[in-house]
Amino acid sequence: MNEVEPRAQPVPAPLIDAEAGAAAGAARGRGRANGLGPVALVVAGGLSVQFGSALAVLIMPRTGALGVVSLRLAVAAVVMLLVCRPRVRGYSRRDWGTILAFGLAMGGMNTLFYQASDRIPLGAAVTLEVLGPLALSVLASRQWISVLWAGLALGGVGLLGAAGFGGLDPVGAAFALSAGACWAAYIVFSAKTGRRFPQADGLALAMAVAALLSLPLGVVEAGTRLLDPVTLALGAAVALMSSVLPYTLELIALRRMPAPTFAVLMSLEPAIAAGAGFLILHQALSLVDALAIALVIGASVGAVRSQSRRKAAPA
């Protein structure tokens, strides 16, 4: 007798609806996680940078601004090269051009920023520097809402720095603005490097380029003072907090979010710096400072939510 295959039983409609709802909920959960993940990386990187910058202030009397930069980038490059062990073969001339541009932007950003912070208050330097990423967010975005968020963040940045802008050294302000331009270039080439090189290999190679460019300047200014054990220890801590950790986190974040959104998130830096000053240096926040921080954070959250909605919108 031939066996008759059992017929497939129809799945009850409520069960189908439940499964579809669960799948949709899981997808929404993954979307929220994917959206919040890069933001958390950027914020963690910002916290690390600002606390590292506070520590760098302790080294400047020992080595000068150029000495701090060269020590920070040299130690960071050695750590990254040892950890990543990037391969140097198999890349095109265009790939190496991206690495060179990334390294130049990184070295310029660090050198110019420390020259600025040696002449003007740190909060004012960060506030002026962040104008570079804000300008990038406006120029690179094709959505009018991004212009709105960038404008809101710019208003917050202006409020945050208003109290410290009176009587600024013009040379220091020019250095900070130039550092902002390099920061915008850093964002662009960091994203390109992340697409062209696996893991953090491109970052390690670019950091080596930046270190090679800055080291001679630091040696000329600081000389043998760079070899002082205490200075080396502080420099290593600054390198880890201000270069290795934040640059790695930012490189990963830029693989998962567009450069304009990342640029707007960079406007959190002055707010983080103000918070670090309050917690570490016991600098009181005024009502204007608090309002400025709220505007900057609101703009950053708005930019991220707008980007998430565009991704979630059906094609």
Q: Are 209 and 99 in contact (CB under 8 A)?
A: yes
The reported pLDDT for the residue numbered 96 is 93
Amino acid found at 183 = W
Q: What is the mean pLDDT of residues 59-85?
A: 87
What average pLDDT does the structure give for the chain? Answer: 76
Q: Residue type at 226?
A: L
Q: What is the pLDDT of residue 107?
A: 92
223 contacts 15 by C-beta, under 8 angstroms: no
Sign of CA dihedral 223, 224, 230, 232: positive
What pLDDT score was predicted for residue 304? 65
What number is the average pLDDT over the span 247-254?
Answer: 82
Q: Which two tokens stand for residue 34?
A: 């994917």
Determine the pLDDT at residue 25: 43
Res 154: pLDDT: 78
pLDDT at position 209 over 90: yes
Return the pLDDT at 141: 65
Give the per-residue pLDDT at 163. 58
Could you tell me how many residues make up the chain?
Answer: 315
